[in-house]
Structure formats: C-alpha cells, structure tokens
Amino acid sequence: MAEYIRFEHICKNFGEKKVLKDIDLGIEKGELVTLLGPSGCGKSTLLRILSGLEDATSGKVYLDGKDITNVAPQNRDIGMVFQHYSLFPNMNVRQNVAFGLKKKGIAKDEIREAVDRMIDIVGLSENADQYPSQLSGGQQQRAALARALVTKPKVLLLDEPLSAIDALLRHSLQVEIRRIQKELNITAVFVTHDQEEAMVMSDRINLMHDGKIEQSARPIDLYTNPQSKFAATFIGHYNVLATEKFVSIMTGQRPVGKDLSRSQTIAFRPEIIGISKSAPANVPADVYLLKGKVSMSLPHGNFLRYNISCGQTQIDVDTLFNRDKLYEDGAEVYLQIPAESCILF
Ligand code: ADP
Ligand code: MG
C-alpha cells in the first residue's frame, strides 16, 4: 500500500525554540493514527502543518501523491475537529453540518440528503433542529464531526476532541469515532495525550517526545515492546529500574537466559509479576526473585496496584481486583518476574 500522507524532514521553530525536529512519518490510506505524547511535545503543531494552518520551517508534506506544502488550507481537502466546540452558535445542527457544502455551491436537495445521512451516522437525528446551546458536550462534538465529514475530506484531523468530555461519555465517543471512521473508511489523524485513548482508537500510534517521533508502532507492539525508557514509562506503566539496582535487590539464584550486565535499564510491567506471601518452593531458572514489603495498595478500576518496597527501590505490582485484598500494608512478600517479560535498554 502506498503512503497516503507523508511528512518529510519536517522541522518547525518558533523563534529560537525547536518545536519539531526532523519529523519523517508516513500514514496509510484508511488508517486511524494517533499522535500521542505529553503536553508541549509538538502534536498540535504537526497536525496544524498538515492542515496548512501552520507552515513548517523546513521539510515537505505530501497528501495523496501531491506535494501540498504550499497549498492553502482551504484547498487541502482536510476536515478538522478541535477540543473546543467550534460550532456556529446561531445555527442549528443541520445548518452547521450543511455549512461546508453550501460554500461549495452544491444543489439544495443534494445537500439535504448528505447532511441528513451524516447526522444519522453520528447519531444526532433526534437533535437536528437543536442549537449548540441545547446540546451536551458530547453531542456538540458529534455535530462537529458530522460537519467535518460531510464534505468528504481526504483526511480527518482531530485535536484532542474528547479532552473536555467526562470519562464515561468519553469512552463511548472513542468507540463511536472509531466506528464512524471505519464505516466511512476515512484516513484520520487523532491527537491525544491519553495513552489509553490512543490504545483504544488507533491502527498505529506515533509516540512523540520533545519534537520527535519516539516510536511508531501498532498499539499492542508499543505496549509489549517499547523501544526506549521514555516509551516504557509513558505506555503501560512499566517499572523502570537501573539494572545495577535491580541486580542488587535480587534474591535466590541468578536466572539464566538474559545477560543483564550489558544493559543500563530494565523494564517490566506490573501485571506480569507474580506475588506471594511465602517463599516459592521452586523458582524456575528463568524467573527473577525479589523480596519486599507492601508499602501501599490502591484500587484502579478492575485491578489493585501494590507498591512494594525492595530496600530503597519501589516496584508496582498489579493484581486483579476481584476479591479481598490479599496483602496488608507492611506484609513481607516475594515477587517473581519472568526474565522473558523484561525489556533491557
Ligand atoms: P502539544 O500539542 O503536543 O501540547 P504544541 O504543538 O501545541 O504541543 O506545542 C509545542 C511547543 O511549541 C510548545 O512548547 C508550545 O509552547 C510551542 N508553541 C506552539 N505554538 C506556538 C506559537 N504560535 N508560538 C510560539 N510557541 C509555540
Ligand atoms: Mg496540543
């Protein structure tokens, strides 16, 4: 499959500040990709360069085989949805959605048909005659989505569209946006700082850090195989330790299979750790054994996260939250960490 969107060596400076540093990134047709990263890492700037609202300092942008670097925003065939509802307050949903088509001078009954269809797809048929002030935040974002999609843009850009919406509704809108994107088979670039949101929605996640793409991967690959300390810390709440420190808190025999001496950092996820009160009788040869004390535990939805002190080192262990707490604060526990689940940097 040929790339549909291509960022080629994109750099962006604001004055002295280098905000994007040589971004090289391809996006395929029909994919939903996210730009994920902490606030200030350059996500919106990269999106705005694709939309034409911002010019790159250097580099090129291609869409559908065409160099669009110097094409005006209104001629790029791109639809956008922002965090803050950008509907016209004096127009109802139908009028808002029709706006872009009217500007294109399309026949009235054709507009009516396209608008009604899109309003139906985003689930607002009951609200078509209502004004923005009469809609909830989620409904306003559905209307904004319909307005962006009705002109059949080549690409849909969404910049943190759900950040202002409360958690429960946000989750159902994530699923909805994904359904609509697939149904229309539209190429979409979605910006978020929320790793769970990126996991739920994306075909591919581009993890950004300090103006660069840190890693570009399918959600599952980013989760199971982060390629840097930053990626491991940002995704999936890995325990990230200096290898030397990890070796110093190990008890029992030294497992076979991984050469720890060659790495500086070891990372492992909280849910792959086995926890028990008594010393395990037979520790397999490829499992690291640690001994520690429960310092705290906190429920996180469907799992319970124990904070374990191994000397001065803290390790998080997650267990399913489907029964009473098994380990009280202060309890001595043993931790088993399979070597094959550890990532070395
Ligand atoms: P993100 O969307 O990842 O939070 P942005 O792309 O908005 O990050 O911003 C990246 C960096 O560029 C930030 O440090 C921000 O302060 C800076 N920045 C963004 N827009 C401008 C601007 N118009 N002028 C100066 N600095 C800007
Ligand atoms: Mg932003």
Contact by Cβ (8 Å): 44, 159: yes
The answer, yes or no, to whether any atom of ligand 1 lies below 6 A from the CB of 181, is no
- Ligand 1 atom at shortest distance from the alpha carbon of 39: 4
**Comma-separated ranges of CATH 2.40.50.100 domains in the chain:** 239-344
For residues 219-241, b (16+ Cβ closer than 10 Å) or e, as one string?
beebbeebbbbbbbebbbbbbbb
For residues 284-307, give the mean pLDDT: 92
Percent of the chain clearing pLDDT 90 (strictly above): 84
**Comma-separated ranges of CATH 3.40.50.300 domains in the chain:** 3-234
For atom 19 of ligand 1, the residue with the nearest CA is 45
Residue of 19, 18, 23, 20 lying closest to 5 (CA atoms): 23
In the CATH hierarchy, which fold is given to the domain comprising 239-344?
OB fold (Dihydrolipoamide Acetyltransferase, E2P) (2.40.50)
Alpha-carbon torsion angle 173, 178, 181, 187, nearest 10: 120
CATH superfamily, domain at 3-234:
P-loop containing nucleotide triphosphate hydrolases (3.40.50.300)
The answer, yes or no, to whether any atom of ligand 1 lies below 6 A from the CB of 39, is yes
For atom 12 of ligand 1, the residue with the nearest CA is 19
- Tens digits of residue pLDDT in 188-236: 999 999 999 999 999 999 999 999 999 999 999 999 999 999 999 999 8
Q: Residue 83: its pLDDT value, please? A: 87
The answer, yes or no, to whether any atom of ligand 1 lies below 6 A from the CB of 45, is yes
Per mean pLDDT, which range of 153-167, 241-255, 281-295 is the poorest? 241-255
For atom 22 of ligand 1, the residue with the nearest CA is 14
For atom 23 of ligand 1, the residue with the nearest CA is 14
pTM for the complete prediction? Answer: 0.92
The position carrying tokens 């949101």 is 197
| Residue 47 alpha carbon to ligand 1 centre in Å | 11
